[in-house]
A and B are shown apart, each in its own frame.
Chain A
Amino acid sequence: DQQVKQNSPSLSVQEGRISILNCDYTNSMFDYFLWYKKYPAEGPTFLISISSIKDKNEDGRFTVFLNKSAKHLSLHIVPSQPGDSAVYFCAASAKGAQKLVFGQGTRLTINP
Chain B
Amino acid sequence: GAGVSQSPSNKVTEKGKDVELRCDPISGHTALYWYRQSLGQGLEFLIYFQGNSAPDKSGLPSDRFSAERTGGSVSTLTIQRTQQEDSAVYLCASTESPGLINQPQHFGDGTRLSIL
> Interface stretch among A14-22, A45-53, A68-76?
A45-53
State A32–B47 Cα separation when bound (angstroms). Answer: 19
Q: Which residues of A contact B48 (CB under 8 A)?
A: 98-99
Question: Count of B residues near A, CB < 8 Å?
Answer: 30
Given contacts A44-B91, A102-B43, A104-B41, contact A34 B104 (CB under 8 A): yes
Nearest Cβ on chain A to B107's Cβ, whole angstroms: 4
- Interface size range on A against B: 20 to 34
- Report the nearest B residue to A42, measured CB to CB: B109
Which B residues lie at the A interface, using CB under 8 A?
4, 6, 31, 33, 35, 40-45, 48, 50, 56, 58-59, 91, 93, 95, 98, 101-102, 104-110, 112
Which A residues lie at the B interface, using CB under 8 A?
4, 6, 32, 34, 36, 41-46, 49, 51, 89, 91, 98-105
